[in-house]
Amino acid sequence: MKAVVNEAYGSPDRLDIRELPTPQPEAGEILIRVHATTVSRTDSCALRAHPFFVRAATGLLRPRRTILGLDFAGTVEALGRGVVKFHEGDRVFGLTPDGYGAHAEYLCLPAEGAVSPMPPGKRFQELVVCEGAWYANTYLERFRLGPGHRILIYGASGAIGTSALQLAKIHGAEVTAVVSPPHLSLARELGADRVIDYTAEDFTALGNCFDFVLDAVGKSSYLQCRPLLKRDGVFAATDLGPCWQNLLLATWSALTGTGRVVFPIPRQDPSFLAFLRERIQAGEFRAVIDREYPLEKIAAAYRYVETEQKAGIVVIAVVEEDNDNGTDKGS
């Protein structure tokens, strides 16, 4: 199989597409032929080992796991012993264990893991949305977001931001989206009640009228956003922030019992995929695809992600698809 291999930390130029043996499913596992995956901010950080402390988990001098990729959508190719939940040929989507392995033509993972049947009538490229949705859901669950709440999402155009916006509306909240000028119409299309162009308006001057503020791109801070929060409002960010301040403030908030800053650790919950599948099938949640690259151009995809200008997701087409029906060309 073809796989994108990185044996050393560094720039996308270090990525190498190689032929590797196709993995075989063990008991309780399924083998998936990957049709589509993504390059995300998580992948970019893992490639460069940024921030440095991640090396404690990924390998101090070089990566322990050399194939990145968290999101996938594809077909079940083979079943390990004892698997009854899936059948060969099933169209599935989900998340790889520990965020590795989807930048390849084949992938093995537990049948009881974060994998779900695809909604009917959808293309594979439309289902590689789980990472952003998973992160967003982690924060909204920590907020206990519900009807009547008001939330401001800073950076509502990225993978996490577009997911958070849509999920917040599903939960019945009133959403203010803060984005750059090219993404104003996108935020409105996704259902934002109010859209702020941060280059033209100081969003921090809106007043303390929000129950929650989510910095979905890690470019703001609690001190900057504190004037937006109600007396019992809560701030969360998807990045550690300068000098790890978001993690430190969240720890202090927990110790003092104020709960003003939270920094929840995302966890894979297979039940969330069932919820997401239902919302996609109902037309309440959709992929926002910025660009699509073939597997052979994955280094270019990484370089684009590193510009921090993407809206939604950057898709890698591992298998070329027929845009009309989502099937392999020539099949």
Could you read off the pLDDT of 227-260 as tens digits, one per residue? 999 999 999 999 887 778 888 888 888 888 888 9
Query: Is the same domain home to 139 and 118?
Result: no
Residue 322: pLDDT band by 50, 70, 90 thresholds?
Answer: low
Residue 330: pLDDT band by 50, 70, 90 thresholds?
Answer: very low
Q: Which residue shows structure tokens 């958070």?
A: 164
Q: Can you say how many angstroms the Cα of residue 262 is from the centroid of all Cα atoms in its chain?
A: 19
Length of the chain: 331
Query: Is the same domain home to 211 and 125?
Result: no
Query: Is the same domain home to 139 and 123?
Result: no
Query: Is the same domain home to 115 and 234?
Result: no
326 in any annotated domain:
no
Helices of type H across the chain = 41-48, 55-58, 130-143, 159-170, 184-189, 222-225, 245-256, 270-281, 298-305
Look up the pTM and report it: 0.93
96 in any annotated domain:
yes
Alpha-carbon distance 210 to 174, whole Å? 9
The pLDDT of residue 331 is 33
21 in any annotated domain:
yes
* CATH number of the domain within which 71 lies: 3.90.180.10
Q: Is the bond leading into 51 cis (omega within 30 degrees of zero)?
A: yes
Question: Nearest 5°: phi and psi at 123?
Answer: -80, 155
Cα-Cα-Cα-Cα dihedral sign, residues 290, 296, 300, 302: positive
Q: Reduced to 3 DSSP states, what percent helix, strand and coil does the chain have, rounded to the nearest 5?
A: 35, 25, 40
Residue 328: pLDDT band by 50, 70, 90 thresholds?
Answer: very low
| Domain boundary pick from 262, 278, 298 | 262
Which residues are 106's β-sheet partners? Answer: 33
- How large a percentage of the chain has pLDDT more than 70? 97
The pLDDT of residue 325 is 47
Residue-averaged pLDDT of the chain: 93
Judged against a pLDDT cut of 50, whether residue 198 lies above it is answered with yes
For residue 306, give the DSSP letter.
Answer: T
Residue 300: pLDDT band by 50, 70, 90 thresholds?
Answer: very high
Least Cα distance to 240 among 259, 211, 261, 210 occurs for 261
Q: Which residue shows structure tokens 């009917």?
A: 120
Judged against a pLDDT cut of 50, whether residue 64 lies above it is answered with yes
Q: What is the rounded average pLDDT of the residues 147-170?
A: 98
Contacts of residue 146, Cβ cutoff 8 Å, sequence gap at least 6: 171, 172, 173
- Residue numbers of the domain that contains 21: 2-129+287-317
Type and span of the H or E element at 317 = strand 313-317
Residue 268: pLDDT band by 50, 70, 90 thresholds?
Answer: confident
Alpha-carbon distance 184 to 205, whole Å? 19
The pLDDT of residue 247 is 84
CB-based contact 10:47 (threshold 8 Å) = yes
Question: How many domains, in total, are found in the chain?
Answer: 2
* CATH number of the domain within which 184 lies: 3.40.50.720
Per-residue pLDDT of 272-298, as tens digits, reads 999 999 999 999 999 999 999 999 999
29 in any annotated domain:
yes
Query: Is the same domain home to 168 and 252?
Result: yes
279 in any annotated domain:
no
Which amino acid belongs to residue 32?
Answer: I
The pLDDT of residue 324 is 41
Query: Is the same domain home to 117 and 9?
Result: yes
Query: Is the same domain home to 121 and 8?
Result: yes
Q: What is the rounded average pLDDT of the residues 116-143?
A: 96
Alpha-carbon distance 180 to 309, whole Å? 9
Judged against a pLDDT cut of 70, whether residue 326 lies above it is answered with no
278 in any annotated domain:
no
Alpha-carbon distance 250 to 227, whole Å? 17
The pLDDT of residue 191 is 98
Query: Is the same domain home to 199 and 249?
Result: yes
